[in-house]
Amino acid sequence: MVIAQTRRLVISKMSLDDAPFYLELVNSPKWLKYIGDRGIKTLEDSKKRIKDSVLTSYDTNGYGAYKLLLKTENNQLIGSCGLYKREYLDYPDIGFAMLPEYEGKGYGYESSLELLRIAKDEFNINRIGAITLPTNQSSIGLLKKLGLVYEKTVIPFDDGEELFLFAKDL
């Protein structure tokens, strides 16, 4: 189901049919380095994660992770951008990830800008956050370009790893 379109992208809900793409994305080098290994190693793992996390978020929150497709003849899947409700944050956050060959081409900015509009206009979200590792300079740069500002350092998990929380009012 198409959620929105931008100049170069189609933003759509994920389905179980996207398991091969999702498996590739969550095992890409930057995902593993900056987001972490989610233990998704097979197509069945990928389908389970989509069902238990992505599809459940659509049902529970109305939003979640969306797939990004290039507006080309073959509608190439290139990455993901989404709105997430996390227990440890007071407001939803935005996240993005691209397959390696599509990084640095402005797709994260283009899709995130559209999702910020959707967050405000369709989901009545008035504040948005984003979390990232302090070492993820490309993510930090994109968040700043989107107008989010550093708010604080958070330690949301038992592993003690610090994350930067960025936020802005919509």
If DSSP codes are grouped into helix, strand and coil, which group holds residue 128?
Answer: strand
Domains of the chain by range and CATH? 2-125 (3.40.630.30)
If DSSP codes are grouped into helix, strand and coil, which group holds residue 34?
Answer: helix
The Cα–Cα gap between 47 and 45 comes to 6
Whole-number percent of the chain with pLDDT over 90: 92
* Per-residue pLDDT reduced to its tens digit, 30-88: 999 999 999 999 999 999 999 999 999 999 999 999 999 999 888 999 999 999 999 88
Looking at residue 63, what is its pLDDT?
Answer: 97
DSSP states of 54-123: IIHHHHHHS--EEEEEESSTT--EEEEEEEE--TTSSS-EEEEEE-GGGTTSSHHHHHHHHHHHHHHHTT
Q: How confident is the model at residue 158 (pLDDT cuts 50, 70, 90)?
A: confident
* Per-residue pLDDT reduced to its tens digit, 102-119: 999 999 999 999 999 999
Looking at residue 104, what is its pLDDT?
Answer: 94
Per-residue pLDDT for 159 more than 90? no
Q: How far, in Å, are 1, 37, 83, 86 from residue 60 at the CA level?
A: 17, 25, 12, 12
DSSP for residue 168: E
Answer for the pair 79, 114: CB distance below 8 angstroms, yes or no.
Answer: no
Distance, C-alpha 11 to centroid of its chain: 12
Distance, C-alpha 151 to centroid of its chain: 19
Answer for the pair 142, 108: CB distance below 8 angstroms, yes or no.
Answer: yes
Q: Which whole number is the average pLDDT over 20-35?
A: 96
Answer for the pair 168, 149: CB distance below 8 angstroms, yes or no.
Answer: yes
